[in-house]
Amino acid sequence: MKPQDLQYTLDWIAIRELVAEYGQAIDFGKDTGDWSRWVNVFTPQVTADYSRLFGEPVTMAREQMAQVGGEALAPFSRVQHATANTVRTHFKSDTEAQVMAYADVGHFFSLGGVPQEWTIVIRYTHDLEKTPEGWRIRRVMLDPIHFRGNPLGLELVKGKRFV
């Protein structure tokens, strides 16, 4: 365990800020089309594991994450990542840590002019690395815990037809 001195406190604060920025930067990217804030939370090579929701884990250059975010959120008019808390920060060394955090992520869209919402309660697990740029996410895993809202409407917005 890392000694709980001033450096521990500074690292702990920086990690909490990074985890909050992860979600806020996604919302900013969706709202503005500028994904640079989100790209900057990652190490130059990042593994994105969203396989519990869709696809397979993939390792890529962090700049590619902008395309991943833009495409994944294309059906929605807005998103809101409410990162509730950082559950646990485990320092593996002075330059590596793992953090878990819960988020309530609202996805908003319109169906036939009627506002709709599809929300996921998520546990994120971030493997972090302390780089010359500061703490960055080397691997992210999304673990959906609960869904609420209109999943059928979501499928229709994505283009699914039943007839």
Say if CB 96 and CB 128 are below 8 A apart. Answer: yes
pLDDT-wise least confident of 31-40, 49-58, 60-69, 120-129: 49-58
In this predicted structure, what is the pLDDT of residue 38?
96
This prediction's pTM:
0.89
pLDDT at 59 > cutoff 70: yes
In this predicted structure, what is the pLDDT of residue 85?
67
Exposure of 128 in the CB half-sphere (CA atoms within 13 A): 32
Tell me the C-alpha distance between 40 and 50, whole Å.
19
Residue in the structure block whose two tokens are 């908003």: 108
Averaged pLDDT score across all residues of the chain:
90
pLDDT at 133 > cutoff 80: yes
